[in-house]
Amino acid sequence: MTEASLIDELPGELLMWVLIISELLVFGAGLIAFMGVRLTDPAGFAEAQSHLYRTGAALNTAVLVTSGYLAAQALRWRRIARRGAARLALIAAAALGVVFLIIKGAEYAGKAAQGITYETHPFFLFYYLLTGFHAAHVLAGVGILLLVAWRDDPRNIEAGAQFWHMVDLVWIMLFPVIYLLG
């Protein structure tokens, strides 16, 4: 099999896959750095982690995988010419993205009320950096989902959904490392 044909096997646009791989590498490096710094103060990291709102984060996992499902269904429906259903699914996926951000915002507000900032402990520096950067991607993803719901060419929807699944994928690895591995 030639290299060109292997690249052709990728669904959708090649540039979207370059973006997906780049983002996974960036977040992956951030998480490895987080675990590396944890070695300098495991007890402090465990104590800091106990202040996190795990239930909300777990709920957000369900919210994102459901939103991803709707985005994937939208592409499937658009391809079989169920245009209205596809648009509704994209709007619902975007709405769940907003739900994710509301839960995340409540979590940040809770930390602020406790006086916890990025300076409180190195754990929280990584926590705010990684979850904040991810939340920025969610915000961008919501806009992209709404954009492709409007300009609903199947190729647009595929690219938008792929971006959204990348956001989903990052959260699936970020959640256990930041919230659970104490």
Partner 1 sequence: MPATSSFPKYSRRRLPNALTRAWVTLLALSVASALLTVLPIPSTLLGGGILILALAKCRIILARYLDLAASPGWLRGFTMVMTGFALIIFALYLI
Which residues form the interface with partner 1 (CB under 8 A)?
A: 1, 6, 9-12, 20, 28, 31-32, 35-36, 38-39, 54, 58, 61-62, 65-66, 68-69, 71-73, 76, 79-81, 161-162, 165, 168-169, 172-173, 175-177, 180-181
Distances (CA, A) of 130 to 78, 82, 119: 34, 37, 15
Closer of 66 and 120 to partner 1 (Cβ) = 66
Closer of 117 and 176 to partner 1 (Cβ) = 176
Closer of 73 and 109 to partner 1 (Cβ) = 73
Q: How many other CB atoms sit within 10 Å of the CB of residue 34?
A: 21
How would you class 139 by CB atoms within 10 Å of its CB: exposed for 0-12, middle for 13-18, buried for 19 or more?
Answer: middle
Closer of 36 and 115 to partner 1 (Cβ) = 36
Q: How many other CB atoms sit within 10 Å of the CB of residue 69?
A: 15
What does the DSSP 8-state code read for residue 12?
S
Residues contacting 56, CB < 8 A, separation 6+: 103, 104, 106, 107
